[in-house]
């Protein structure tokens, strides 16, 4: 977990926009060779030579993507960077810069914004990424963070979503469902606190699923690992909106279907225990929960021997020419896969929809 916020509170009005930007970016250092001009000019200048540029943007909105009653500000800054870097790793790319947009109301003191920036800069430092610019403005509806990630990939080496072939293996990294179950714990403890503020939150024994929700890590290790194994993915995507949604993205854009197997899905024991505690089928959390930020990719089945002994990579199914998306359960039944992950402007809890 990350450090707690500073108790000091400096009103935003005491600094003004330009002094605030100077203060928030005082610790920024450019380290990537491609970062020629960073914060302080009208635009960043990046030099990528013969490689292809990758750019991705995600917007995080208070009350929609995060709840500050249990999301520490430093964790929020860290996570805002991770969700963007994950998109570039899903393209087989290497992130090198980010730009940060922030809309904030006057209920936040300067120190709160410094906590957010501290989390973002920690993420940048750990992943070798430079913060090179952005924008800060006022908001009448809470906090909003918009991060743009910039990176590069060797020409012709970008892995898209539409390259899967019939018969390809479908492989996922790490384990799935933990971030969603971490969210359930946080929501439960929030409700308990609201009912009785004297009660302390019960978080012990749930550290793994909580960290997967509050401080996810992008899978920067997978690109180099696959290169070392001699595996070239035919398509790839990160798991941000639930496994079902991501499978449908890969299949639909490749003009294919997919069959996965319930008993092949990698799930952490702690996640499964928490799901049982909440009366949730852990597979439901995997298929519909999201925010795992693992990578899902397809590869030729002839190359299976290259990955079969690797603990970071789990084949869970294969692509099919029939354009049917299904999961074979442990009981041998075939059930359809549907995109029930989070959808923008949807008010219902996607994990409870049917």
Q: Bridge partners of 334?
A: 328
Range of the domain at 22: 12-153
pLDDT of residue 341: 55
pLDDT surpasses 90 at 114: yes
Integer Cα distance of 143 and 113 in angstroms: 10
Does 160 fall in a domain? no
**Model confidence pLDDT, tens digit, residues 230-281:** 999 999 999 999 999 999 999 999 999 999 999 999 999 999 999 999 999 9
**Residue 213 sits in the same domain as residue 303:** yes
Confidence category of residue 13, pLDDT binned at 50, 70, 90: confident
What percentage of the chain exceeds 90 in pLDDT? Answer: 75
pLDDT of residue 40: 77
Please give the C-alpha separations between residue 151 and each of 92, 99, 154, in angstroms, as whole numbers: 10, 12, 11
- The DSSP output letter for 2 is P
pLDDT surpasses 60 at 310: yes
**Residue 102 sits in the same domain as residue 214:** no
**Residue 179 sits in the same domain as residue 60:** no
Examine the fold and report which residue of 129, 153, 177 is the final residue of a domain before the chain moves on. 153
**Residue 146 sits in the same domain as residue 192:** no
Q: At a CB cut-off of 8 Å and minimum separation 6, what does 201 contact?
A: 189, 192, 193
Q: What is the pTM of this model?
A: 0.88
**Model confidence pLDDT, tens digit, residues 52-104:** 899 999 999 999 999 999 999 999 999 999 999 999 999 999 999 999 999 99
What's the rounded mean pLDDT across residues 179-204? 91
Confidence category of residue 305, pLDDT binned at 50, 70, 90: very high
């Amino acid at each position: 977990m990350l450090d707690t916020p500073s108790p000091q509170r400096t009103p935003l009005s005491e600094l003004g926009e330009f002094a605030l930007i100077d203060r928030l970016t005082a610790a920024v250092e450019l380290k990537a060779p491609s970062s020629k001009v960073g914060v302080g000019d009208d635009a960043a200048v990046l030099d990528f030579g013969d490689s292809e540029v990758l750019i991705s943007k995600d917007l995080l909105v208070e009350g929609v993507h995060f709840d500050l009653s249990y999301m520490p500000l430093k964790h929020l800054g860290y996570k805002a960077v991770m969700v963007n870097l994950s998109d570039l790793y899903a393209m087989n790319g290497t992130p090198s810069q980010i730009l940060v947009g922030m809309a904030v109301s006057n209920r936040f003191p300067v120190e709160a914004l410094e906590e957010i920036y501290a989390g973002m800069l920690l993420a940048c430092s750990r992943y070798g990424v430079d913060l090179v610019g952005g924008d800060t403005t006022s908001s009448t509806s809470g906090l909003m963070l918009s991060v743009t990630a910039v990176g590069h990939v060797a020409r012709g080496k970008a892995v898209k979503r539409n390259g899967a072939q019939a018969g390809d293996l479908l492989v996922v990294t790490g384990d799935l469902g933990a971030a969603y179950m971490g969210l359930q714990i946080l929501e439960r403890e929030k409700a308990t606190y609201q009912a009785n503020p004297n009660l302390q939150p019960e978080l012990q024994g749930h550290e793994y699923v909580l960290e997967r929700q509050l401080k996810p890590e992008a899978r920067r290790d997978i690109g180099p690992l696959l290169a070392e194994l001699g595996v070239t993915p035919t398509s790839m995507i990160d798991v941000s909106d639930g496994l079902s949604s991501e499978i449908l993205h890969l299949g639909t854009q490749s003009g294919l279907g997919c069959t996965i197997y319930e008993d092949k899905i990698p799930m952490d024991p702690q996640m499964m225990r928490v799901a049982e505690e909440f009366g949730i089928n852990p597979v439901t959390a995997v298929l519909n929960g999201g925010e795992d930020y693992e990578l899902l990719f397809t590869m030729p089945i002839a190359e299976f021997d290259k990955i079969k002994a690797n603990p970071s990579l789990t084949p869970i199914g294969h692509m099919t020419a029939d354009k049917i998306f299904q999961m074979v359960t442990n009981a041998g039944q075939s059930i359809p896969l549907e995109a029930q992950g989070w959808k923008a402007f949807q008010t219902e809890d996607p994990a409870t929809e049917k």
